């Protein structure tokens, strides 16, 4: 079973590798990623957050609702994105209990392949767009704290190091 990786960890700073083809092995991993995400009460999860060097992420803006809306994005690429920045308080499963307001564009258009190797295009905004941008960052080794000032980031990283030590997470 896949396990959540907590920051700081080298895998979270890596630019992940694209998939040539989605096969049954990947589909099994994706299924496990959904289990990890829903178990942790998250709305998004990227492959490096469970130790996988792959350009895969999953999002579900309705993860906390009864009617789920899971979207799996493989080899995602932004086609277009607005310049207007909006603030929103973000968290991350790799940073339990830490939240920070981050400015990001609202509307975006993204291209990706799904679990069945089908090419898809999605135009979205609001919460869904926010999660997608956060997860896409993960595939490029960028964490939400990297959008903060160095001072704020260092405070959170220091607390995370302490948390990992206390919880004996290696």
Residue ranges that bind Zn ion, judged by CB under 5 A: 92
Q: Could you tell me the smallest distance in angstroms from the CB atom of residue 91 to Zn ion?
A: 8
Q: Could you tell me the smallest distance in angstroms from the CB atom of residue 78 to Zn ion?
A: 17
Q: Is 97 a catalytic residue?
A: no
DSSP code string of 57-75: EEE-TTTTSSS---EEEEE
Closer residue to Zn ion, CB minimum distance, 92 or 156? 92
Closer residue to Zn ion, CB minimum distance, 92 or 160? 92
CA neighbours closer than 13 Å in the CB half-sphere of residue 135: 31
Report the residue closest to Zn ion, judged by CB: 92
65, 115, 135, 166: the active-site residue: 135
Sorted by sequence, the CB contacts under 8 Å of residue 37 that are 6+ apart come out as 43, 44, 45, 58, 60, 63, 93
Q: Could you tell me the smallest distance in angstroms from the CB atom of residue 93 to Zn ion?
A: 6
Closer residue to Zn ion, CB minimum distance, 47 or 92? 92
Cα 144 from Cα 64, distance rounded (Å): 21
- Which active-site residues does the annotation give? 135
């Amino acid at each position: 079973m896949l396990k959540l990786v907590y920051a700081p960890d080298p895998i979270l700073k890596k630019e992940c590798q694209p998939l040539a083809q989605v096969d049954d092995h990947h589909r099994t991993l994706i299924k496990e990623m959904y289990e990890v995400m829903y178990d942790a009460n998250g709305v998004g999860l990227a492959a490096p957050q469970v130790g996988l060097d792959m350009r895969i992420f999953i999002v579900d803006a309705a993860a906390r609702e009864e009617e789920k809306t899971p979207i799996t994005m493989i080899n995602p690429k932004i086609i277009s994105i607005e310049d207007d920045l909006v603030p929103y308080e973000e968290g991350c499963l790799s940073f339990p209990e830490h939240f920070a307001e981050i400015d990001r564009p609202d509307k975006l258009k993204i291209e990706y392949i799904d679990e069945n190797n089908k090419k898809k295009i999605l135009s979205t905004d609001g919460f869904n767009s926010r999660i997608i941008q956060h997860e896409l960052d993960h595939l490029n080794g960028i964490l939400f704290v990297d959008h903060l000032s160095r001072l704020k980031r260092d405070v959170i990283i220091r607390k995370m190091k302490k948390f990992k030590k206390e919880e004996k997470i290696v």
